[in-house]
Amino acid sequence: MGNWLRKKLQNFVFKHLYHGVVDVDVMVYDNKKKLLVHNGKHLDYGTTQLIVAQAQQMHDMKALNVIFEDMKSLASKKVFEGSTPDETLAGKMMLHVVYTIQKKIYNIARLPIK
């Protein structure tokens, strides 16, 4: 079986059987066309501009930053004061989710779209 066919089959099974996120579901930036790509399709220029502008607004929101910091402190408390390994793992997962969301907002907000 070809390598591309194996990957396509794995993505299909993972996405439809386990409801997982595969590589085409992730929003990426096409540097040549200066557009965002989501679900394997290029978004139009207006949609790309709108997403970048909204990400810049989210990045600059003080309330959202306070919420993220509060979530980080709660997760850190759960990591260090967790009485079971499950609570410690849950705190680490929460820290990872908050970090990933913050990083994605920052990366979209600084795209060179004018």
Domain ranges of the chain: 1-43, 44-114
- Decide if pLDDT at 52 tops 80: yes
- Count the neighbouring beta carbons within 10 Å of the beta carbon of residue 71: 16
What are the residues whose beta carbons fall under 8 Å from the beta carbon of 105, sequence distance 6 or more?
55, 58, 59
- The 3-state DSSP class for residue 48 equals helix
Instruction: Look up the pTM and report it.
Output: 0.71
Please give the pLDDT value at position 23: 62
Please give the pLDDT value at position 113: 74
Least confident of 9-23, 58-72, 99-113: 9-23
- Decide if pLDDT at 47 tops 80: yes
Radius of gyration of the chain (CA): 18
Is residue 48 within 8 A of residue 36, CB to CB? The reply is yes
Shortest CA distance to 106 belongs to which of 45, 65, 50?
A: 65
